[in-house]
Structure 1
Amino acid sequence: MPTRHRPIRSVALALTIVAVIAAAVLVTTLRGEVPPRHHYVAAAENRAAPLRVTVVGDSFAAGVGADAPTGGYAYAAAARGCWTPTLVASSGTGYARVRFPGTVPFTDPTRLAAVAASNPDVVVVQGSGNDVGDDGLRAAATAMYAALAVIVPRARVVVVGPTDAPAARHENIGRIRTILAEVTRSAGVPFVDPAGARWLDWTTDYVADGIHPNAAGHRAMGERLAAEVAALGVPRADGCRAAS
């Protein structure tokens, strides 16, 4: 029956393109191509926190809705967990889909090259409600996790699903969560489900658009993410003190 074989075809397609993605990342890195500055922001090194955590994501990772450029959840998690963060974040993007001209999905070679160049100890892949919960997402997620295993083989990878924001398309968010849970299980990658775990409160943690976290929501996401990374058991430096 066609529907039974569709996920298998999606995985097969993903595995055939992962070598191409990894090769493109290698070529991009060797050429020294620098991704556009409005997509990717590298934080200044904090020598007290040598754990290098690279966050790949959408507008949430970019800090939309926060009260300061460094007020997003990635920075809140870095302060809590005592990390050096690198953001590979761009609004309106996902694993397979983009919403704005000039943006590229998570699996684009320039974004993966930025991940490789950051030499991460941990890679967090967050999102995305910009995707559609279909076989295109399944193939893209499968390809991305396989590519990360090639380009940053020593890094721990953590996948963080989308939140259930009050104005989100909840049926689609449910499909995205289901697909990411299945693909991460197959890839042997930890999956964190903010929607299922109710990381954010609809009444207090979102801005007026009903999609993006406010300052309190970003802090809450940061605290939960820091705890998830700590649970991986990756040690931090002696004398490193996390924010209280």
Structure 2
Amino acid sequence: MAATTLSEAEFLTRFWDAHGSTFMRWFLAIPYAGQLSMLRNASPDMPLQTPDVLQATDILTPELTIATLLADQGKPLVRLLCNRARFDCAAEDLAYLKGLRAKKRMPTFSGTTFDSVALAYIDPTDPEQHIQSLLPSVSPTLLQETQAKIDANVLIEADVWLTLQMRQQILLTFLANVARTFELVFFQTQGTVEGKMGCRTCGASAQPDAAPLLKCPCDAALYCCKDHQTQDWPNHKATCKVIRARKAELDGL
């Protein structure tokens, strides 16, 4: 029987249920250089901060900047991953996009598709989520009634719905890439990845003699020398214990 392919949302939920606590402790403990490397790996084109001239994606996902996600030692990134993995954020996303729509600032992706209709919309309770439309010849009463349902979030305007799908897909793809990078580093550690994560103390990608970084027994902390490992031990000790216990649990499954 072929394996079932998980959607990005399903993968994130599974990831957080299995490794959320470990990821949180680990990510918040690694140096800025390692956090930055993870984000660059997940989204190479992510801007350092909100640019002066906004593109569509900057408006669509304003939270996706290095400065925003790595503020407060990386806690915003952890919160974003946790919320998207555990909760349905569609209502919050919809409110944000409708606010942009009201200000005529919402990016659209439909081109001229809906230019020939008076109003296009979807019913969120429709399993197929088919786009429905009202022709220009529709009665003013029906048009007003449909618009009222859109305003009440009973229906969703088609342009807003398409933009909603795009926003959610960008966020989920980025976060899934972060999660997969963590799994690669944590469970299938490779030298090139280790070098990108860097020494926990100074961020160096190798030992002074160019040898690979030294690895803590927990496999999640890397160092360029014994002195830096000893120096960092008081900070890493508690996390190391948790990670090694978690790994022992997983090995016993």
TM over 0.5: no
TM-score by length of 2: 0.20
TM-score by length of 1: 0.21
Structure with a larger share of its residues in strand? 1
Greater Cα radius of gyration, structure 1 or 2 = 2
Structure with a larger share of its residues in helix? 2
